[in-house]
Structure 1
Amino acid sequence: MYILPRFFPIFLAVLASLTAPAALAHEFWIAPTKYQVETGAPLVARLRNGQNFSGISYPYFDHQTARFELVQGGRVTPYAGRMGDLPALSATSDGDGLVVIVHQTMPSSVSYAEWEKFAAFAAHKDFPDIRARHIARGLPENGFSETYTRFAKALVGVGTAQGADAPTGMETEFVALANPYTDDLPQGFPVRLLYQGAPRALAQVEVFDRSPDGAVTITRLRTDDSGTANIPVAPGHEYLLDAVVLRPAPAGAAEVWETLWAAMTFSMP
């Protein structure tokens, strides 16, 4: 099969998504080319899936996208790219202020031939009781599947970058309680984790911190009773926050478990 050179990166991304099901349990995030741009400058971002804040870039496909929006000053602008666009987002930052890029995927599924792989994933994402829950539901230890949906946000400062994040109505999401591009954050960057519109208390938040030299450190925090976590931050660093809901799949579904992944990316000037 001959593939035109300009379509080769897209082919690789699609091939990876079809041939590496284990990677589907990895983090998914929005990766802006620049987190701060001038008013009127291009606003470009990739959709990435991987581990340790490193992963492959996915093209834009409308059948895999439930929501793709730019939110600025309370105004929501739906985004629709061209099929196969890579990077997935290429827009113009016409307005001055904080832009929140919102991306929700369509549900996908992954199968587990062996219990150990699912158990390792569940333990990593802070569900130590998963075996007891699995057995209590009378589920098989091998040969079952999970459905998953991604709910990602990225904070981009345009011009003065003034503005604030707000809930978008996604089933789970991080909401920034400060602006990383305009606020003084000596106590850290505060975020609130929501699930079905309510604060998600005592939930694990995995923090991926990329330093200016490219080194990535990973820490795990926990939200307080109000669903809030303060993220330690440093100038020049880029951050990915990740939190997962694990629940029984809807009645009648072929899958037995469902995961909902919240992600947020931002950087510090």
Structure 2
Amino acid sequence: MKKLFSLLLLFVASSLFAHEFWLMPSKFKLKIGELFDLQLFVGEDFMGDIWANRKKRLLKLTHLTEQNRQDLTSIALKSDSLPIPLKFNSEGTHLLTMESKNSFIALEADKFNDYLKEDGIENIYELRKKQGQLTQPSKELYRRCAKTLIQVGNKYSDTFKKNTQMPLEIIPLNNPYQMKAGEAITVKVLFKNQPLSNKMVVAWHKTATQKTTHRKLTTNADGSLKIPLDKAGYWMISTVHMVEVKNNPEANYQSYWGNLTFQLP
């Protein structure tokens, strides 16, 4: 049994640092009624593997417009890993959100501590240090809370700034499809509708021909921060928040992974 548990730790640790999750439409700017595909990825630097086994892992896929909310979960569950075919029949800025069910990860103490430091989860690292647990392995439950913004036609709408009530929210306060390279987008990070202050956020950028770059920033006291969008192309904004779980034999910690993707014209 000990050998099996050690192998599990080793397997999980090997994929530890390929942990960003994002929604990637085949096109971010569409015509009314234009067909496109949505794919779900896990990895780093806008490079990764298809997030498969949706029938067991997906909780909800939702399409939001200014006036309506449409549950697309049944469409997403028709296959485990194939692209999800979609089309939008109204102009405006559309929002897709995806929330996963809980998954489990177990890590050796050093791997877990490194992960906490790399992803800016200082609250848990300091808690483990205070409680004398830095040498203890971890058992963690984690959930995904991902969004993507898509522009249809030439009409803009305020859907981009909706609070979708997922546990972890990255909410842009500017519509990126009305912005241009060189401007800064303001986002607000909420955990269960409360602002997350002093939280590390990573902004990723890539184009079809350029290598992905990223920068790490920190939210203000009200959970907001400004992110310079210095170049056109694909953008991804991500963060992770973790809380301690007490009196649960299954896990010591629960984490939530937030992600937002869009294209800057």
Q: Shorter chain as normaliser: what TM range?
A: 0.7 to 0.9
C-alpha distance in structure 2 between counterparts of 1:101 and 1:162, whole Å = 16
Instruction: State the aligned residue count.
Output: 249
Match among 76, 79, 96 for residue 69 of structure 2: 76
- 2:138 corresponds to 1:153: no
Shift of 1:52: 2.1
Match of 1:261 in 2: 257
Question: Partners in 2 of 1:85 and 1:57 — Cα distance?
Answer: 7
After superposition, the C-alpha distances for 1:201-254 in whole angstroms (9 at most, x for unaligned) are 221111111134231111001111221111111453111111111111253241
Distance apart, 1:159 and its partner CA: 1.2
SS of the aligned residue for 2:176 comes to coil
Note the residue ranges of structure 2 that are not aligned, 5 or more in a row.
1-9
User: Contact conserved, 1:187 with 1:230, CA < 8 A, in 2?
Assistant: no
Aligned residue in 1 for 2:240? 244
Distance 1:46 1:20, change over 3 A: farther
Correspondence list, 1:126-205, <5 A: 126-128=120-122, 130-137=124-131, 139=133, 141-164=135-158, 165=160, 166-183=162-179, 186-205=182-201
Q: Give the CA deviation at 1:184.
A: 5.4
Q: AA paired with 1:64?
A: R
Please name the residue that 1:104 is paired with: 99
Q: CA RMSD in A?
A: 2.2
Compared CA separation, residues 92 and 200, structure 1 to 2 (3 A): same
Amino acid paired to 2:250: A
- Secondary structure at 2:190 match in 1: strand
The residue that corresponds to 2:5 in the other structure is none
Quickly say closer, same or farther: Cα 1:140–1:221, change in 2 above 3 A.
closer
Percent identical pairs in the alignment equals 21
Aligned mates of 2:60, 2:53 — CA distance in 1: 12
Alpha-carbon displacement from aligned partner over 1:21-53 (angstroms, at most 9, x marks no partner)? 333561111111111111100132111101222
**Equivalent residue in structure 2 for 1:92, among 67, 74, 87:** 87
Amino acid at match of 1:171: P
Specify the SS of the correspondent of 1:188.
strand
The change in CA–CA distance for 1:36 and 1:108 in structure 2 (over 3 A counts) is same
Change (3 A) 1:219 1:62: same
The CA distance in 1 between the partners of 2:119 and 2:183, in whole Å, is 26
Q: Is the Cα–Cα contact under 8 Å of residues 181 and 230 in structure 2 kept in the other structure?
A: no
> Gapped runs of 5+ residues in structure 1?
1-18
Going from structure 1 to structure 2, the CA distance change for 1:239 and 1:183 (only over 3 Å counts) comes to: closer
Structure 2 CA distance, aligned partners of 1:226 and 1:55?
Answer: 33
